Amino acid sequence: MPRAELGTFPSPVDRLDGIAGCPELWIKRDDLNAEFCGGNKVRSLEFLLGGVGAGDTVLTLGGEGSTHVLATAVHAARLGARTIAVRWPHEMSPVAEWVAREAERHCAATIRAWTAVDGVARAGALRLTRRVHYVPVGGSVPLGVLGHASAALELAEQVAAGELPTPARIVVPLGSGGTAAGLALGLAMAGLETTLVCARVAPRLVSHRRRVLGLARAAGRLVERLTGRRVPAVRASRVSVIHDVYGGAYGRPLAAGDQAAAIFGAAGGPGLDATYSAKACAAALQIAASAEGPTLFWLTFDGRALQGVGDRE
């Protein structure tokens, strides 16, 4: 299938030794998988932007502070394409405001919607009237999920090479579900006995375990159709969702997330964003301090450009 070469892989894994009470905490540095605007979206966009070239128009959608919209615009431009984004308001942190400004700068055009439902309707109307390459919200469709199935296979190779022990668990933010679904599928394909812990950061309506499992299974069927080979089933018992780091609204900062980001930074860790990674980090620190075996925190946000932005992300 067409695949755009956007990322630099494998992304490194590091052990975090400077956090008290967390002797077996590791981090997967997916923030470093592209020169600019790295993070989890790079992996899905390699599949979702496959076949896009110079002069094409990409249509995507998301909230004002959507890293997906920003990443799509940035990486589509690397392929010579322009991006039209449909965006709607939600609660914003200083870093989300920065993401929104960057997205405005990189998108060829922005269409304002009142709500997510209105945004989906406006995007649907555009698809009927314009010739565009459509990238769904968050890239969370079976094709995009393949990016993180590949990421889990990459991790398995790093384990086999002795770069880290087999994680007892991986902690990852859970928004629209594509990243978590791909990791769940890839872990099953790799045969790693690792539990995926999804830290919910979005409303239950769109962010739940059933959606993760459904996306993983749909992506598995896609792999089977493409390769003619059987794919191991994702075991539901290997996927869990925790809800206590959700701040009550998408994009709303969480005090525990701010504290986790401060602890993380003091130990030499990279910057975290308040919407996704700081909340997942709070969950990872709590689990690593109380559970046996290695805990791997999967960093999905590239915070390298955020020095001087108003909060620690």
* Residues designated catalytic: 66
Residue 25: closest CA among 306, 283, 245: 283
Give the whole-angstrom CA distance, residue 49 versus residue 133: 8
Task: Give kind and range of the element (H or E) at residue 88.
Answer: strand 82-88
**DSSP code of 267?**
T
Question: At 2, phi and psi to the nearest 5?
Answer: -60, 140
Query: In 31-42, which positions are buried (b, 16+ CB within 10 angstroms) versus exposed (e)?
Result: bbbbeebbbbbb
Cβ neighbourhood burial of 161 (10 Å; 0-12, 13-18, 19+): exposed
Query: In 53-68, which positions are buried (b, 16+ CB within 10 angstroms) versus exposed (e)?
Result: eeebbbbbbbbbbbbb
Contacts of residues 226-231 at CB distance under 8 Å and 24 or more positions apart, as own/partner, are 226/1, 231/185, 231/188, 231/189
Distance set, CA 206 to CA 42, 130, 311 (Å): 21, 28, 27
Question: β-strand 295-299 against 109-112: which pairing, if any?
Answer: unpaired
Letter for the amino acid at 256? Answer: A
